[in-house]
Structure 1
Amino acid sequence: MDISARSASAASRGRTRRTQIAAGSIAICLTAALAACSSSGGSTASASGSGSSGAGSAVGVSLILKTLSNPYFVSMEKDAKTAAAKDNVTLTVAAGTKDGDTQTQISAIDNAISRGDKGILITTNGDAVNTALNQAKQAGLFVIALDTAPNPPSVADITYATDNEAAGKLDGQYAAAALGGKPAVIAMLDLFNNQVVSVDIQRDHGFLEGLGINPGSTTQNGQEAKTGRYSGGSYTIACHQPTQGAIDGGRTAMENCLSANPGINVVYGINEPAAEGAYAALKTAGKTGVQIYAIDGSCAGLKLVTSGEFQADAAQYPGKMAGLGVDSIAKLARGGSKPSVTNGKSFYDTGSALVATKAYSGLTIQSPDQAAPACWGN
């Protein structure tokens, strides 16, 4: 999931993101050259395909993103345009001027209704867009949320997203194996400490569950027992610190954690920027041999796995979310069936994979080279 705050600071470093909390793919996440589209009016691309989904007249679809300063969302635009060319879809792209810009998104929704588009793909900037999305549905448009379900989820007809808890669990399972029974002193670098965001909870809890630690709550972070046993040995939770999903936030969070417990040997990062900030703080402090885990799967992040800065990175696929969304609306507009959620889940799971350089028994990993064809950003 995109991490609300993955965001402005992810954009500022130009190569990663949510939180995330980050999506992400995606996720994130966090560059790629920004596509030429206006944040206020958007750009329109149309192409005719020859496949069965491209038969008949062009189908109008709007892709409405949080921003186009974040490589995570740029990858969505890229793959959506590829799918539009294949499916004979007239794709209109719009995006907020910054994270949280709901007014630009509302205008784009109104424009989609006026144009007679068949559907909307959206990464929402906030609940303020809900009324406009409900109006779009009443007008007959099919609404697909990408990366993050709206609040409430029923505002969209379906959500295409990463299973963030599953992604966190991949990292946690790998951490348990890599520790090899050694005591774990764990820093949890979350998204926020003053608000509850689903991606923040899901990734944090997934990481703990992967280690074999009970999170202690289904709705809050930091409720696990602070000492106990993980699946391979004893553990201590050194800290839960907010990072805002950003490099600077990750650095400050890690500094605070080291002040609380300088013996930290495992770091969970809500996303790649938070994990990068943690690495910088550890390096400054002269700490070596600390395992750092991230969730995103950007092309830049995979390089950090190769270099050893990250022990592992759980990859997500923001472009896949958008490409599948375009396909779904095109097929539905031409008489096909509505897309359905993944069995046992409330959304369509676009998948995740664990990227690492060292294999452990019982764990499925991809090497950075194997994961590279599906990474996002530069």
Structure 2
Amino acid sequence: MRYARRALTILTLAALVVTTGCSVEKDGGDGGTDASSQCGSGKEFLIGMSQANNAEPYRQVMNDDVNTAAKTVPGFRVVVADAAQDNSKQVADVENFLSQGINLLIISPNEAKPLTGVVKKAYDQGIPVIVLDRKVEGDAYTAFIGGDNVAIGKAAGEYYAKTLLPQGGKVVEISGLPGSTPAAERAQGFRDGIASNPKIEIVATQTAEWLREKGQSVMDAMLKAQPKIDAVYAHNDPMAEGAYLAAKAAGKETAIKFTGIDALPVPSGGIKAVEQGRLQATFQYATGGREAIDLAKKILVDCTKDVPKSTTLGTMQITKDNAAQAYTELGGKQ
């Protein structure tokens, strides 16, 4: 995979050097040396990890996966910056990383469009950029690692159409942060999945921005606005759990079915919620943290010139029938 953009010939300037792999030379108007030109074993590497929002349990696990994997690579040091779901702060975090001379950037964007420019800036400076979980616009990055959110949403929809609500029913959708690619893709996929069962109707959609407490408040409002709700399709497990709590407070937790996405193998995660009966199902959405560090090692230590532009992580449907087994297989923490 080539890091550089097309070489442009300008009358007043020599042709720019096409950067390939980690053998990079930067035009260097400021006299600096491109961080990725120093690949190889026995070196120290600073990796900036720009996280969208540490308050989300999924992102805490992602950070843990990145840090755990990085500790196994001699010379790797990871610095994590929490954007706290603030686009402008995340832009500033990346700018700060660039000023520190990072050798590689891992970023999970809060939203796609607002982060596209600064990701491109890093990439144009010759810094390898791994976009994790959520996408940016365009292709000015080294590699993307994440799940297929359309496929995951479709799998959830098919589960509703064939198993959860085969006779049809009224569904409310609690969606992720507007502007984030997983929210749009999980919504699209779900609609594709339920299309085979015209008796299923989405009666309301509301964002809870991936957060449990907002899922609870959104569900509370939906319960008051909707005379009948048969099921809740939440774009992640914390929002599904929040919706369950609101329904329980209203005495309706047994009359409504709940599903989520993430399936984190931790005691507070979605797999345990399924095992304990609060959720009917969840769908695995791997963090990609370990895979990101594996790729970073190939780029920085092994000096690999060609890496995959996109890596799609696998998923699985988890119900009460396989929850205990899935928890163990995914390395569940007791």
**Same-fold status (TM-score > 0.5):** yes
Aligned to 1:296, which of 224, 243, 262?
262
Match of 2:49 in 1: 63
User: What RMSD in Å do the two structures reach over aligned CA positions?
Assistant: 2.9
- Confirm or deny: 8 A CA contact 2:110 2:180 kept in the other structure: no
Contact 1:106 1:129 in 2 (8 A): no
* Kept after mapping to 1: 8 A contact 2:194/2:200: no
SS at structure 1 position matched to 2:71: helix
Work out whether residues 142 and 157 of structure 1, in 8 Å CA contact, stay in contact via their aligned partners in 2. Answer: yes
Larger Rg: 2
| Counterpart mapping for 1:337-348 below 5 A | 337-341=305-309, 347-348=310-311
Percentage identity across paired residues of the two chains: 23
Counterpart CA distance in 2 for 1:180 and 1:81 is 41
Residue 276 (structure 2) aligned to one of 285, 307, 329: 307
Task: For residues 158-205 of structure 1, give each alpha carbon's deviation from its aligned partner in whole angstroms, at most 9, with x where no partner exists.
Answer: 22112111122222222223246323221222236xx54422221122
Structure 2 residue 185 is the aligned partner of structure 1 residue 202: yes
- After TM superposition, the structure 1 = structure 2 runs for residues 77-156 of structure 1, keeping only pairs within 5 Å, are 77-96=63-82, 98-100=84-86, 102-103=88-89, 106-112=92-98, 114-115=100-101, 117-125=102-110, 130-150=116-136, 152-156=137-141
Displacement, 1:260? 4.2
Contact kept, 8 Å, 1:161 with 1:350, in 2: the verdict is yes
Q: Aligned partners of 1:181 and 1:69: how far apart in 2?
A: 36
1:336 aligns with 2:312: no
Q: Is this contact kept in 1: 2:234–2:260, CA < 8 A?
A: yes
Tell whether 2:216 aligns with 1:262: no
Instruction: Please give the secondary structure, in 1, of the residue aligned with 2:296.
Output: helix
1:353 aligns with 2:319: no
Partner residue of 2:172 out of 183, 187, 193? 187
Answer 1 or 2: higher relative contact order, Cα 8 Å, separation at least 6: 1
SS in 2 for 1:154: coil
Residue type at the aligned position of 2:188: H
AA aligned to 1:293 is: T
Q: What code does the residue aligned with 1:374 have?
A: L
Number of residue pairs aligned between Structure 1 and Structure 2? 290
Moved >6 Å (runs of 4+): 375-378
Cα 1:266–1:327 change in 2 (3 A) is same
Task: Give me the whole-angstrom Cα distance separating, in 2, the residues matched to 1:323 and 1:146.
Answer: 11
- Structure 2 segments unaligned to the other structure (5+ residues): 1-38
* 1:109-144, Cα deviation, whole Å (9 max, x unpaired): 4444643x4321112345555554334323321111
1:212 aligned partner, one-letter code: A
CA contact (8 A) 2:56 2:210 kept: no
Uncovered stretches (5+) of structure 1, i.e. residues with no partner:
1-52, 214-228, 342-346, 359-365
Map of 2:292 onto structure 1? 325
Partner of 1:340: helix, strand, or coil? Answer: coil
Q: 1:272 to 1:136 in 2, by over 3 A?
A: same
1:272 to 2:237 alignment: yes
Identify if the C-alpha distance between structure 1 residues 73 and 188 changes in structure 2 by more than 3 Å, giving closer, same or farther.
closer
Per the alignment, in what secondary structure is the counterpart of residue 314 of structure 1? strand
